[in-house]
Amino acid sequence: MGVERRIESAVNRAVWFRNYQRARARAMTKLTQLYPETYKQLFEIERSIDEQEGKSWIDITGTTRLDLSAGAPYSDIAGTQEARANASNDGGKA
C-alpha cells in the first residue's frame, strides 16, 4: 500500500510540474516579446552567473566546471539584484 501511495504522489507531482512548466514557458515567451532588450540583458547576466558559479554544462553528461572568480554581474541593470531576490522568494513574481 505504501509503494502505491508514493507512486500516486509522484505521478501527481509530475503532472503538476508539467503544467507549471508549460504555463511558465508561455509567460516567458510573452514577457520576451514585450521586453526584448531587458530579456536579452537578463539572459546574458544569468548565463554569466551560471558560468561563474560552475553550473553551466560542458557536455551532454552534465559535467560542469568550477570557476571561483566572482564579480558583480548585476551592476549593469539598476534594481535587478532586488528583483532577482524577490523572484527567488515568491516563485518568480517580481
Q: What is the pLDDT of residues 39-89, one digit of tens each?
A: 999 999 999 999 899 888 888 888 876 444 555 554 454 455 555 555 555
Alpha-carbon radius of gyration of the chain: 18
Q: Which residue has the cell 539598476?
A: 78
Q: What is the pLDDT of residue 63?
A: 82
Q: What is the pLDDT of residue 67?
A: 46
3-state secondary structure of 69: coil
> How much is the average pLDDT of 14-23?
96
